[in-house]
Amino acid sequence: MHDAVHKLEALTTRNQITVPQIAAAAGVTPSTIYRRWGDLQTLLADVAVARLRPIADPDDTGAMVSDLTAFIEQYAEEMSSPVGRALIRDVFSSDQSFPSQCCGFTADHLTTLVERARARGETPFDIDEVIDHVVAPIVYHILYGDRDVTPDYCRALLARLRSLPAA
C-alpha cells in the first residue's frame, strides 16, 4: 500500500488521492484498505511515519554541542520542507499512536547523541529539556506557519538550554 501511495503522490496532488485509487494501484480491493487502516487519513499517517522513521544515526561531528546543533538544524530543515510539513499534518491528523511514534524517533536520536557524548567524556544534555525547549517550538512553528524555522532560530533555542555548556 505504501508503494501505491508513493506512486500516486508522484502523479497527483495529495488531496486528490482516494482509497479506490490506492487500491487499484496496489492491486487490492478498497475493502482491504478499510479493514487494515479504517480510513484514508490513517493510511496516509502510516505512510508518513514510515517515511519519518530514521535510516541512520545523527552525524558525528566530534563534539556534543556541534552534534546537537547539526541534528536540530537538519531536523528543522527536513520538517519545515513542503514534504515534511505534509508528513507532519498526516501524522497528526490520525487518531492512532503515530505522533508518539515520531516523538520516539526524535528521542532515540537524542539518546544516541547523549550516549556519544558520554563515551567522549562530555557531560550530556538533558533530553527532555531539548524536546521541551527546542523540538517543541520548532514543530509548533512548522504546524502553525507563523515563523520561519531558520538555522539562526534553531541556534537561539539551543543557546537557552541550561544543560549545555556555555559557549
Look-up: residue for cell 538544524?
A: 73
Model confidence pLDDT, tens digit, residues 89-138: 888 877 667 777 788 889 999 999 999 999 999 999 999 999 999 999 99
Which H or E run contains 23? helix 19-26
Residues 6+ apart with CB under 8 A from 6: 47
Instruction: State how far the Cα of 142 lies from the Cα of 147, in Å rounded to an integer.
Output: 8
Q: How large is the angle between the packed helices 19-26 and 40-52, nearest 10 degrees?
A: 60
Give me the pLDDT at residue 62, please: 94
Model confidence pLDDT, tens digit, residues 10-52: 788 777 888 888 888 888 888 888 888 887 877 777 777 677 6
Alpha carbons within 13 angstroms on the beta-carbon side of residue 85 total: 11
Grid cell at residue 68: 546537537
Instruction: State how far the Cα of 108 lies from the Cα of 110, in Å rounded to an integer.
Output: 5
Residue 58 confidence (pLDDT) above 90: no
Give me the pLDDT at residue 96, please: 66
pLDDT confidence bin for 141, thresholds 50/70/90:
very high
Give me the pLDDT at residue 101, please: 78
pTM for the structure as a whole:
0.75
Report all structural domains of the chain as residue ranges with CATH numbers, in order of start: 2-38 (1.10.10), 55-159 (1.10.357.10)
